[in-house]
């Protein structure tokens, strides 16, 4: 049995709720599209800048914004840019619904409404001094990228940093150039695996959870951040526990249908919490009784 590594990880741990930057959290503010970049066949990144000269957008890694495509609808999307560059808001998402498809069609100069930032954050400050294992699946790499940026900016504060990333195929690797660049770092361990590939792919094939057993980290002083499909996160937690990482040192980002983003409407209820307000980042042992339950 190990103990929680993080100071805020006491038995009565509550998700750290961060207040929205805006005085009026329900009021979208105008942002101009700088760029829309296709990442993979179905994912894209939008870069935004304030249209009304608002002060730089401060946020914590893991938080999300509500993006409003004017006249179409509003959806929650994680912030995935570099927190040290608060002048540019970066969001990556998959074009799967009416709003995200409309968002993909936006051009530089178009205007979006932005509310946020909302929700809890990855505890990167508190993880300092430990090894950090990041387990990302598919587009789950996006909300973890901000945490990685932060830690790389202050690399000396952490032990080993290990990124384990799984996705569908080599063509679906998100931020591919950046991942390749990270792999060339001497102080960052990056392992990528895909579910299937042709014989031209020379990397790993298999589920991301299979990388955990061989990843180089000290389980007794490791904090893990996980984001991806819920089924992947369930198996990732099991593998981390097999390695000896305590449940109190595992954090994951939950997915629910967020609407108001301020804990009023109840759309994103998850057990006794509202994911928009209390999450999306939770410590695993806190949500364990509800995690993976179909009724919740």
Per CB under 8 A, the list member of 78, 130, 146, 248 interacting with another protein is 78
Query: What is the DSSP code (8-state) at residue 7?
Result: T
Instruction: Restricting to residues 150-179, name those near another protein by CB under 8 A.
Output: 166-168, 172
Question: Distance between alpha carbon 281 and the CA centroid of its chain, in Å?
Answer: 8
- State how far the Cα of 13 lies from the Cα of 98, in Å rounded to an integer: 38
Minimum Å distance from CB 28 to another protein?
16
Nearer to another protein, 5 or 232 (CB): 232
Nearer to another protein, 6 or 80 (CB): 80
Q: Is the dihedral of CA 80, 229, 279, 136 positive or negative?
A: negative
Binding segment (CB under 8 A) for another protein, from list 82-90, 106-114, 155-163, 224-232: 224-232
Binding segment (CB under 8 A) for another protein, from list 30-38, 147-155, 208-216, 283-291: 208-216
Q: 222-227 and 250-253: which strand pairing?
A: parallel
Closest CA to 68 of 82, 85, 48: 48
Nearer to another protein, 150 or 209 (CB): 209
Nearer to another protein, 130 or 150 (CB): 150
Biggest CA pair distance of the chain: 55
- State how far the Cα of 177 lies from the Cα of 175, in Å rounded to an integer: 6
- State how far the Cα of 138 lies from the Cα of 70, in Å rounded to an integer: 28
Q: Is the dihedral of CA 172, 173, 176, 178 positive or negative?
A: positive
Minimum Å distance from CB 5 to another protein?
26
Nearer to another protein, 9 or 134 (CB): 134
HSE value, Cβ hemisphere, 13 Å, CA-based, for 247: 12
Minimum Å distance from CB 174 to another protein?
10
* Binding footprint of another protein, residue count (CB under 8 A): 49
Minimum Å distance from CB 171 to another protein?
12
Instruction: Give me the DSSP letters along 17-78.
Output: ----SSSSTTS-EEEEEEEEEE-SSSEEEEEEEESS-PPP----TT-EEEEEETTTEEEEEE
Per CB under 8 A, the list member of 96, 187, 216, 244 interacting with another protein is 96
Nearer to another protein, 10 or 205 (CB): 205
Nearer to another protein, 153 or 201 (CB): 201
Nearer to another protein, 100 or 130 (CB): 100
Please name every residue paired with 194 in a beta bridge, in sequence order, or none if there are none. Answer: 167, 205
Does 241 sit near another protein (CB under 8 A)? no
- What is the end-to-end Cα distance of the chain in Å, rounded? 29
Instruction: Restricting to residues 257-276, name those near another protein by CB under 8 A.
Output: 257-258
Instruction: Restricting to residues 179-198, name those near another protein by CB under 8 A.
Output: 193, 195-198
- Rule CB under 8 A: which residues touch another protein? 64-65, 76-78, 92-94, 96-97, 119, 137-140, 142-143, 166-168, 172, 193, 195-199, 201-207, 209-210, 214, 228-229, 231-232, 235, 253-258, 280
């Amino acid at each position: 049995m190990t103990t929680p590594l993080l100071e805020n990880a006491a038995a009565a741990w509550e998700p750290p709720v961060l207040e929205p930057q805006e005085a009026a959290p329900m009021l979208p503010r105008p942002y101009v599209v700088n760029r829309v970049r296709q990442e993979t066949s179905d994912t894209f990144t939008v870069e935004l800048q304030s249209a009304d000269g608002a002060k730089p957008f401060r946020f914590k890694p893991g938080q999300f914004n509500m993006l409003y495509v004017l006249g179409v609808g509003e959806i929650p999307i994680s912030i995935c840019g570099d927190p040290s560059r608060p002048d540019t808001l970066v969001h990556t998402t998959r074009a799967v619904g009416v709003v995200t498809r409309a968002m993909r069609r936006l051009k530089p100069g178009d205007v979006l409404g932005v509310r946020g930032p909302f929700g809890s954050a990855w505890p990167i400050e508190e993880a300092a001094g430990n090894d950090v294992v990041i387990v990302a699946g598919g587009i789950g790499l996006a909300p973890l990228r901000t945490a990685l940026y932060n830690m790389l900016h202050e690399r000396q504060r952490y032990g080993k940093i290990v990124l384990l990333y799984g996705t569908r195929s080599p063509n679906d690797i998100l931020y591919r150039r950046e991942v390749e660049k990270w792999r060339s770092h001497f102080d960052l361990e990056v392992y990528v695996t895909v579910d299937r590939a042709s014989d031209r792919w020379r990397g790993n094939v298999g589920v991301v959870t299979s990388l955990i057993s061989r990843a180089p980290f000290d389980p007794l002083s490791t904090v893990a951040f996980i984001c991806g499909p819920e089924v992947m996160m369930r198996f990732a937690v099991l593998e981390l526990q097999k390695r000896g990482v305590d449940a109190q040192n595992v954090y994951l980002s939950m997915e629910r249908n967020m609407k108001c983003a301020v804990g009023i409407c109840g759309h994103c209820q998850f057990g006794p919490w509202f994911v928009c307000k209390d999450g999306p980042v939770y410590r695993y042992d806190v949500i364990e009784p509800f995690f993976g339950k179909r009724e919740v």
